[in-house]
Amino acid sequence: MEQTRLDRSKVKPAADIYSRAFFDYPQFLCYHPSREWRMRHFTDYCEVGLRFALRYGEVYAIPDFKGVICWFAPHQNHFTTAMYLTTRGFIGQSILIGWKNLSRILACEEHAAKAHREILPGAHWYLWGLAVDPEYQGQGIGSRLMGPGLKRADEQGLPTYLETHDEQNVAYYQKRGFELRRAECVPGVGLRFWCLVHQPG
110-148 pLDDT, tens digit each = 999 999 999 999 999 999 999 999 999 999 999 999 999
Rounded distance, CA 58 to CA 52, Å?
10
66-112 pLDDT, tens digit each = 999 999 999 888 888 788 888 888 888 888 888 888 889 989 999 99
- Domains of the chain, each with CATH number or no CATH: 4-198 (3.40.630.30)
CA distances to 5, 22, 28, 138 from 104, in Å: 33, 19, 12, 33
Q: What is the mean pLDDT of residues 149-163?
A: 97
What percent of the chain clears pLDDT 70, i.e. is strictly above it?
A: 100
**Cα 44-164-30 angle, rounded to 5 deg:** 55
- Say if residue 199's pLDDT is above 70: yes
Rounded distance, CA 11 to CA 168, Å?
28
* Coil vs helix vs strand at 38: helix
**Cα 121-149-5 angle, rounded to 5 deg:** 120
Lowest mean pLDDT among 52-61, 62-71, 127-136, 186-195: 62-71
Alpha helices in 57-181 (DSSP H): 81-85, 90-97, 99-119, 141-156, 168-174
* Coil vs helix vs strand at 4: strand
Report yes or no on whether pTM surpasses 0.75. yes
- Say if residue 1's pLDDT is above 70: no
Please, which residues have CB within 8 angstroms of residue 116's CB and are 6 or more apart in sequence?
Answer: 77, 78, 126, 161, 163, 195
